[in-house]
Structure 1
Amino acid sequence: MSLGKISPEYVNRSLSLFGKLFTLGGLLIGLQTGGSRLQAQTYKDSSLSPRVRSLNLLSKMTRAEKIGQLSTLFGWEMYQKSAVSSSSRIQITSAFKKAIDSGHIGMLWGTLRADPWTKKTLITGLNPEQAVEATNALQHYAITHSRLGIPLLLSEECAHGLMAIGTTVFPTAIGQASSWDTELIEKAAAAIALETRSMGSHIAYGPILDLAREPRWSRVEETYGEDSYLVSKMGSAFVRGLQGKLTATAAVDSNHVLSTLKHFIAYGIPMGGHNGAPAMLGIRALYDDYLPPFKEAIQNAGALSVMTAYNSIDGVPCTANELLIKDLLKNHWGFQGFVVSDLGSISGIYSTSHTAPNAVGAAAAALSAGVDSDLGGYGYGKNLDSALTAHLVSAAQLDSAVYRVLRLKFALGLFDHPYRSISNANGVNSEEQKRVNEQLATESITLLKRTVLPLKESLRSIAVIGPNADNLYNQLGDYTAPQDTGSVTTVLRGIREAAGPNTRVLYAKGCSIRDTSTAGFAEAMAVAKKAEAIVVVLGGSSARDFKTQYQSTGAAISTQSTVSDMENGEGNDRSTLSLLGRQSELLEKLATTGKPIILVLINGRPMAIEKEADLAGDILEAWYPGATGGKAIAKILFGHASPMGRLPISIPRSVGQLPVYYSQPKGSGGHYVEGAAGPLFAFGFGLSYSTFTYSDFKISKSENQQGLQLQVSFQVTNAGSQTATDIQQIYISDETSSVVTPVRKLVGFSRCTLAPGQRVHQQITIDPKELSLYNLRGDQLIEKGIFNLELARYAGDPDCLKARLEVNQDYIFDHWR
């Protein structure tokens, strides 16, 4: 089955989407009782519903005003700060006035954003109080200078914290996922929502629901890992935290924001690891693996915005795919929000994919596919106006898109309460948010190898060495705003604060991430020889700097003329997964001292560290742990907390093993002449400072004509000597199926924190749909037969407990069309 565009005959036979919206939704003006009331009232009447107010406003708008509502321009270009005596005053720019006066724009993106690409610094950017002043000023001009008084929707990057000055910087998503803690993820997202809304913005770009099965890809750090089930649970928790009880019909409070899911769809498996490259997969894999996280986030968590992806699938750009956006997302799933393009992806339909002859054709293709908003503002605009004039798209299709945007503006209460109080900014980066951040950072750290940890507080000296030991930006990840130096705890600072009063902490950088100089080796060796233990902090960096050049989309352009640390983050794809520069050589030299070596990795993608793992006695994977990361790492090092993290992505031995994700189809795998085919560290793996045992693994099944209910139960005992947290994982495999299924797949997990000797009875309810597959006819069903279940510590755990489940009949849930 092709994922191509729906045929013209199909389109001609079908009602327009807006016609369906009116007919099926009971919105047709003049029918039943709603019509007369709509004529008697206006969109300014706050007693009316968002849909009624949206339809009334839509009926009053010109074509130019409608097209403008779909444009999302760069917000950081719309204000400037000017010094007035000892204070700063926010002024809106002439570019913004033009965008409102003649462009009738409806949205801004990145108004609060500060980073080298936007050239907004701690001086030229907005602190929280100034952010409120700026967003209020922009809203006031938009409302008072647009003919119909339409407020703006302001969107921001929020995957691991609002990308603005003075906000809370959480661990990046790959670290968040390592916690396997949905309740904590929801709390963190709620904190991000509060900061975003407090400063005057309304949409959070996040979570990223891409499955990261290509670790060479530059954006692995932004994802929740390789597994569809884990990504679904983490992503839905993040959506619930961002949106609260906000729906397309009403806003419950002013502390939550719309969540924009990224990127629709299959963006995390680009050919060659190149960002935005085509995704090569079949339609069954798409429905089995890549769509479920989006479906759950929409249907169970209520996500109200979706962003398209840069890539193509089966020859169709995702931003022009009617089958996936209009048919599946909107009509079949019943998505109530709006779809926004990724930056420049509408133009990319003709400039990159070459499936449209020009910019006008690209605009028509995107609108026809169901893309409601143009991020960047240059994909639609005059191009969409020309497409309408040429009858490439219809007025009804335009109205459909505008309606979806307007309805959410009304649902957010922007027409009635468009401004924020300066006092709202006082809650940004509060002590409670810092507490949640530190807890999430602590839970995200994964112990991969253990020999001497935890360190004894009686140590007289510790050497802290490495390029990431005292570099605050290297531990924060991409999409991070400039930071006050005191707001981030590096590993060195964390160790100094946590070490005992009689412990001397020595430091040497040793080398850089990518620079090949060995000038710092001598100092590092001298420091190491004076210490009783060595903490080596290596890895990578997504830290942007003002020397790096950037594409129009914001992705970094790597150049050989400038050696920065940045080897990860959007646009920095890799051909290898080894540590860059002279990091491995530094570790080798330090190992010759014979001192205990604890390797701490701060990085955004899995690194192939087989050699380094042999040199180090202990290994902590910290990913990019955020502003409190150094404090969290120190807590683990000194045993003030037991490691809790579990890998959300497999760590390969070498780049030549790829793909190495755990849930590959049966028939995958084997061995290589050079060594093992399995990963160095498996999905779900993570050690603790205690030991846990599992017992009494049982399955409870209820099966009849109406459906199947499944629950597993088991005992968990802390058999060690320290209070610690354990994460239990349930995997399933289908013994015989009509199509090839994974060797195993995660279908449930649970957490418990136990004191030494404590035992707990755990139960996990398994959604029967997790046993389903999509067959060759496109049916989603459970096929009768035998399933094998595993209670494991990680994927492929040889010591797992096993149970067999027999299903006696087929159960059909859905069809892919």
Structure 2
Amino acid sequence: MIKRIQFAIGLGLAFSISHLPVFAQNKSTLPLYKNAKAPVESRIKDLLSRMTVEEKVGQISMPLGWPMYNKNGNEVEVSETFKKSLKESYTGMLWATLRADPWTKKTLANGLNPELAAKATNAIQKYAVENTRLGIPILLSEEAPHGHMAIGTTVFPTSIGQSSTFNPELIEKMARAIAEETRVQGGHVGYGPVLDLAREPRWSRVEETYGEDHVLISRMGEAMVRGMQGKSINSGVNVVATLKHLAAYGAPEGGHNGSSINLGLRTLHQFYLPQFKAAVKAGVLSVMTSYNSIDGVPCSSNEMLLKDVLIKDWDFKGFVVSDLNSISGLKSNHHVAGTAAEAAAMAINAGLDADLSGIGYGKALLDAIKQGKVSIKVLDSAVSKVLRIKFRMGLFENPYVDPQVAKQKVRNEEKIGLAREVARESIILLKNQNQLLPLSKKIKSIAVIGPNADNVYNQLGDYTAPQAAGNVITVLQGIKNKLGETTQINYVKGCAIRDTLSSEIENAVMAAKKSDAVVMVLGGSSARDFKTEYIETGAAKVNAKAEALSDMESGEGYDRATLDLMGDQVKLLKAVMKTGKPVVLVLIKGRPLNLNWAAENVPAILDAWYPGQEGGNAIADVLFGDYNPAGRLSISVPKSVGQLPVYYNARYPEKHDYIEMDAKPLYPFGYGLSYTTFAYQNLQIATNPGQKTVNVKIDLKNTGSTDGEEVVQLYLRHQQSSVVMPVKQLIKFKRVALKSGEQKTITFSINPSDLEIYNQKMQWEVEAGTYHLMVGSSSDDIQLEKDFVVHHSAILR
């Protein structure tokens, strides 16, 4: 007996979905590509043989998805725009169908909740299957870097906070939750993780990255891929992960988003590509190209990246997709193509399989084929990679989802709790003079001051959908939840992030004076609003002359010339500090900011990045001692933009001081304090030539009176090498929980890949020689160190 699922779709029409193919069930009449039992490669070959050139091009063109449905009360139907796209362009993919934000102009009123989202994707699939010659289902890609960017989903901390947990296992768990929320609403591909190496904090998209170190990024990327894709993308709860952005996008000249990158091939391979390789080896099935060029070659037409490295060297098995409009950008931005057809030919011939925009390929690619610039063999190769995902996901058998499951699974209590857990682990204690923190829950009065103390959207970061009232717990609300009615809470906003026209500094000072302690919540914002203008790619358009300034000073398109706290924030902080009250500074932001004055004058500082929807509860947990912070900086905090770049793993020779200041960051990579103390002892190193590993042991003890977690970090230095290497390089780390007085032996296994260098012959090699191992709590706080020797060189590949 065939199991069937009943649900409503479109205008409320009920119909049944079989777990057998949605097409005719008579096997004798089935084309091979519709036979679920046939090998996937045979199905692809059969389907390709039946497709016209126009249908093939349509399969790899991905127009914007949010215009493709119409909402009518509690039902959803496909739009005329979708019908036209399917009829004229043979559309096979859609992007951001469920996305809602000021750019898409989808709001809580006209957007879709999870149940309606499932109905919308079902309507799209039903129309595509029943109204096209071949009945090919649609592949739906969605933004999902810190939660599915759709209404009603769970909002986790942004990636820069995720990496500050130094806990890949937790991030994998989070990725599973994001994947499930995306898949049960009908999405198939989740855009994320972002693996860009962030070596330029002025760049607007730092918040989307995992920071400045490729090893940390690699571990986070692997965790995201494992969590999103699971063991099978046909599970009904997993999605294809898409790596962003290949490659070297995170260190643009002058911090300008999408600007050119000038670096050598050895630097590219040693620092900018390993995290992508690690994610490919973890099985990722999709990679997105970046907007920038590398040494004059745009990444969207870079055959060396897309063929030589990705496929030949790494054996990548998925498909490559452009960033939005980046194929067209070969003509309009980079000026390396003279026509749209030339741009399409350059991209697909270089190995770029799918076009995110719907205009980079489409007619332009058809013209290129007619002009002989692109062969059918190249086209078939690209199309087969997209079809392979559709077959592997089981979309030809069942392209639908159950709206009731979406209603139950999206943003449930378990996922909200997980959002709080990730937020707590991401919080970094930067300073705690005289153990001001944790504050007592018996405090009689407390002032909560600052532009980010009670601002929902400033807490969430870019790529976040509109939020219903009560979904997001701000710092003010989190403190209220923690203290209840027994404490007098005096809230004053004080000022905006950027705008100085409505500051209320005197009121803030009055609130501080009548309170026993002050929590000040400052920082930045990536909160988009409906007044902001956007360019075609969705990046915000900066308008420095706008009469009313939004809070937005970070997020895609908002590059900075300085890293100072903007507006009247420093003025507000100094005024409150003059009251003499104990002040705790909480930072909510997307990039490192200038904290020089605060670091010198404010007794306690917490960095929460963009902590997501449970950020207020998580911050309150840390403020009042219900959680002992153990987050670590995944990117260094400079003293001045004049120091940039200031990442910790710079190559030799060591940096020397400037006339005005030293060359060290204010807070280094890996830095973070705790409410307890830890002792490192007994470093042991044992080489194991037979297994080609180096085994490391240390004893770690919690020497304080509070339970806590320590992030143990292993750094390596090549005492001598054939090419110039960093002064130190993170190779391993572990987040370890220890009760007060508890001691554990912590072990690490160093593998050849941890020691390899890209040598003068452009080969990966472990060189014979002496290596210096350093163990500590940050890149600048080494507790134990010792040498070991590798006696024989080895070419790895």
Structure 1 residue aligned with 2:50, among 49, 60, 79? Answer: 60
Matching of residue 187 in structure 1 with residue 188 in structure 2: no
Aligned to 2:673: 687
TM-superposed CA distance for 1:777, in Å, is 0.7
Superposition map of 1:545-624 within 5 A: 545-559=529-543, 560-561=545-546, 562-624=548-610
Q: Deviations over 1:159-182 (max 9, x none)?
A: 000000000000000000000111
Q: What residue in structure 1 maps to residue 476 of structure 2? A: 492
Q: Tell whether the 8 Å contact from 2:174 to 2:227 is kept in structure 1 after alignment.
A: yes
Residue 365 of structure 2 corresponds to 384
* TM-score using structure 2 length: 0.95
Match in the other structure for 1:416:
397
Distance 1:411-1:502 versus aligned 2 partners, 3 A rule: same
Q: How does 1:350-749 map to 2 (within 5 A)?
A: 350-425=331-406, 426-451=408-433, 452-499=436-483, 501-517=485-501, 519-559=503-543, 560-561=545-546, 562-703=548-689, 708-749=692-733
Q: Deviations over 1:692-726 (max 9, x none)?
A: 0011111121125xx62112111010000011111
**Which residue of structure 2 lines up, in the alignment, with residue 28 of structure 1?**
none
The alpha-carbon deviation at position 317 of structure 1 amounts to 0.1
Distance 2:720 2:393 in 1: 49
**Is residue 262 of structure 1 aligned with residue 244 of structure 2?**
yes
Q: CA deviation at 1:734?
A: 0.1
Q: What code does the residue aligned with 1:404 have?
A: K
Q: Give the direction of change, closer, same or farther, for the CA distance of 1:508–1:91 in structure 2 (3 Å limit).
A: same
In the alignment, the residues of structure 1 paired with residue 353 and residue 673 of structure 2 have an alpha-carbon distance, to the nearest angstrom, of 46
- Distance (whole Å) between structure 2 residues aligned to residue 627 and residue 115 of structure 1: 16
**Alpha-carbon deviation of 1:146?**
1.4
Deviation at 1:616, TM superposition (A): 1.0
Q: Supply the distance in 1 between the matched residues of 2:369 and 2:521 (Cα, whole angstroms).
A: 57
- Structure 2 equivalent of residue 285 of structure 1: 267
Preserved contact between residue 699 and residue 710 of structure 1 (Cα < 8 Å):
yes
The Cα shift of 1:459 comes to 1.2
Of stretches 99-108 and 621-630 in structure 1, the one that deviates more from structure 2 is 99-108
2:746 to 756, 759, 762: 762
Cα distance in structure 1, aligned partners of 2:28 and 2:300 = 35
Task: Work out whether residues 234 and 392 of structure 2, in 8 Å CA contact, stay in contact via their aligned partners in 1.
Answer: no
1:479-513 deviation per Cα after TM superposition (whole angstroms, max 9, x unaligned)? 00000120100000001111264321110000000
- Could you report, residue by residue, the CA deviation over 1:393-445 in whole angstroms, capped at 9, with x for unpaired residues? 11100000000000110000000011011122111001111111110000000
In the alignment, what sits opposite 2:109? Answer: 123
Q: 1:213 to 1:41 in 2, by over 3 A?
A: same
Is residue 228–residue 240 contact of structure 2 (8 Å, CA) maintained in 1?
yes
Hey, what's the Cα distance between the residues in 2 that align with 1:805 and 1:145? 67
Distance 1:291 1:806 in 2: 27
Q: Decide which of 151, 167, 186 is 1:165's aligned counterpart.
A: 151
Could you list the runs of 5+ residues in structure 1 that have no partner in the other structure? 1-36
- Aligned pairs for 1:116-265 within 5 A: 116-246=102-232, 251-265=233-247
- Partner SS for 2:74: strand
Q: 1:305 and 2:286 equivalent?
A: yes
Q: Does the 8 A contact of 1:81 with 1:90 survive in 2?
A: yes
Residues 38 and 52, structure 1, Cα contact 8 Å, conserved in 2 = no
Q: Is the 8 A contact 1:517 1:582 kept in 2?
A: no
The gaps in structure 2 that reach 5 residues or longer are 1-26
CA–CA distance in structure 2, aligned partners of residues 485 and 765 of structure 1: 48
- Which residue of 1 is the match for residue 791 of structure 2? 808
CA distance in 2, matches of 1:49, 1:570: 42
How many angstroms does 1:90 deviate by? 1.3
| Whole-Å separation in 2 of the counterparts to 1:399 and 1:361 | 19
Q: Which moved more, 1:397-406 or 1:449-458?
A: 449-458
TM-score, length-normalised on structure 1? 0.93
| Aligned AA (1:302) | G
**How many angstroms does 1:328 deviate by?**
1.4
The correspondence of residues 109-120 of structure 1 with structure 2, limited to 5 A, is 109-120=95-106
Conserved? CA contact 2:496–2:503, under 8 Å: no
Aligned equivalents of 2:313, 2:762: Cα separation in 1: 14
Which letter maps to 1:202?
Answer: H
Q: Secondary structure at the match of 2:689?
A: strand
How far residue 49 of structure 1 moved from its aligned partner, in angstroms, is 2.1
* Structure 2 CA distance for aligned equivalents of residues 588 and 502 of structure 1: 29
- SS of the aligned residue for 2:32 comes to coil
Separation in 1, partners of 2:739, 2:259 = 49
Q: Is contact 1:186-1:240 (8 Å) kept?
A: yes
What's the secondary structure of 1:345's corresponding residue? coil
2:329 matched residue in structure 1? 348
Q: Deviations over 1:594-627 (max 9, x none)?
A: 1111000000000111112222110000000000
| Equivalent residue letter for 1:775 | N
Report the alpha carbon displacement of residue 772 of structure 1 after superposing the two structures with TM.
1.1
The Cα RMSD (Å) is 1.3
CA distance in 2, matches of 1:39, 1:667: 71
Q: Give the letter for the 1:42 counterpart.
A: L
**Aligned partners of 1:735, 1:646: CA distance in 2, in Å?**
27
SS in 2 for 1:102: helix
Cα deviation, residue 796, structure 1: 2.2
2:258 to 251, 254, 276: 276
Match 1:295 to one of 263, 274, 277? 277
The residue identity in structure 2 corresponding to 1:323 is M
CA separation of 1:459 and 1:45: change in aligned 2, threshold 3 A: same
Correspondence for 1:326: 307
What is the CA–CA distance in structure 2 between the aligned matches of 1:789 and 1:608, rounded to whole Å? Answer: 32
Q: Measure the CA separation in 1 of the matches of 2:112 and 2:176.
A: 22
| Pair 1:95-2:81 in alignment | yes
Structure 1 contact 458–500 (Cα < 8 Å) conserved: no
* Worse-superposed segment, 327-336 or 346-355: 327-336
Q: CA deviation at 1:331?
A: 2.3
Q: Partners of 2:735 and 2:71 in 1: how far apart?
A: 49
Deviation at 1:534, TM superposition (A): 0.7
The whole-number CA distance in structure 2 between the counterparts of 1:430 and 1:767 is 40
How many angstroms does 1:668 deviate by? 4.2
Q: CA deviation at 1:52?
A: 1.6
The one-letter code matched in structure 1 to 2:795 is: I
Q: Residue deviations 1:122-144, cap 9 Å, x none?
A: 01000001001100000011111
**Partner SS state of residue 739, structure 1:** coil
- Following the alignment from structure 2 to structure 1, what is the Cα–Cα distance between the partners of residues 614 and 189? 25
Alignment deviations for residues 454-489 of structure 1 (CA, whole Å, 9 cap, x no partner): 001221111000000000100000000000120100
Contact 1:373–1:401 (Cα < 8 Å) also in 2 = yes
Letter in 1 for 2:758: Y
- How far the C-alpha of 1:680 sits from its partner, in A, is 0.4
Distance in 1 between the 2:751 and 2:272 partners?
A: 18
Report if aligned partners of 2:114, 2:185 keep a CA contact under 8 Å in 1. yes
- CA distance in structure 1 between the aligned counterparts of 2:584 and 2:35, rounded to whole angstroms: 64
Q: Match of 2:448, as an amino acid?
A: V
Once residues 400 and 515 of structure 1 are traced to their aligned partners in structure 2, the CA distance between those partners, rounded to angstroms, is 52
| Deviation string, structure 1 residues 561-597 (Cα, Å, up to 9, x no partner) | 1400000000000000000001001001111001111
Instruction: Check the 8 A contact 1:587/1:615 in 2, yes or no.
Output: no
Contact 1:518 1:582 (8 Å CA) reproduced: no
